[in-house]
Structure 1
Amino acid sequence: MAETASFPDPELVTALRALSNPVRLQLLRWLREPERHFPMEQAIADPAEVGVCVSHLQAKAGLAQSTVSSYLAELQRAGLVRATRVGKWTHYKRDEERIARLVAELGQSL
């Protein structure tokens, strides 16, 4: 008797697609420890609370602001980061609960 094919969760596929880009993966790694990777004295808001400003991520990555914003938007659509506006600046922070669920789901799926 043939097993019916089970399709992966579309949210899992979206997250894995977002993580398949090395720069997006690096951005997520930097956001894991913002105090280690970004100058805290230049922060306009608490990175632990609201995240890291796009301009700081852009400077560290050495890429155009539009490219970094596009990468972060992809991570946000995948539910891996959350965006918060502080004045005219957008800050990004990892969604640790979503990442933990993704890791658990991946462990069960593979």
Structure 2
Amino acid sequence: MLKRPVGGQRLEILEWLRDPAAHFPPQRHGDPVEDGVTAAAVAAKLGVPLAVATTHLGLLAGIGAVRTKKIRWRTFYRPDEVRIAEVARMFEKGW
């Protein structure tokens, strides 16, 4: 198995979350486009333990790149496009 850099995994997650219907199977609860996807779905796609995916998603949520939504007992994650654009601009300016 080819190992991706950790930062590369987070960028990959963001790309997947931008088009969840193309990258994740249907979910029992929550619409992938409207509500987001679970950490379990991200873990399965990345091929990592749930704890690893949860850590990645927590860090992305911490900087505001993803929003969270609770449905029942699960947390769903979806991208915050405005915040992603703000962060991208900071890096373009040499932050």
Q: TM-score, normalised by structure 1?
A: 0.73
Query: 3-state DSSP class of the match of 1:92?
Result: strand
> Is the helix fraction higher in 1 or 2?
1
The reply on whether 1:93 has 2:78 as its aligned counterpart is: yes
Does the 8 A contact of 1:43 with 1:53 survive in 2? no
Which blocks of at least 5 consecutive residues in structure 1 are unaligned? 1-19
Q: Which has the larger radius of gyration?
A: 1
Q: Summarize deviations over 1:84-104 as a string: whole Å, max 9, x none.
A: 111111110000111122233
Q: Percent identity?
A: 35
Partner of residue 35, structure 2: 50
Which blocks of at least 5 consecutive residues in structure 2 are unaligned? 1-5
Runs of 4+ with deviation above 4 angstroms: none
- Displacement of 1:77 in angstroms is 0.8
The reply on whether 1:33 has 2:32 as its aligned counterpart is: no
Matched pairs, number: 89
- Displacement of 1:29 in angstroms is 1.0
Query: 3-state DSSP class of the match of 1:69?
Result: helix
Partner of residue 53, structure 2: 68
Amino acid at match of 1:102: V
Distance 1:34 1:74 in 2: 19
Does the 8 A contact of 1:75 with 1:81 survive in 2? yes
Distance 2:90 2:55 in 1: 26
Between 1 and 2, higher relative CO (CA 8 Å, sep ≥ 6) is seen in: 1
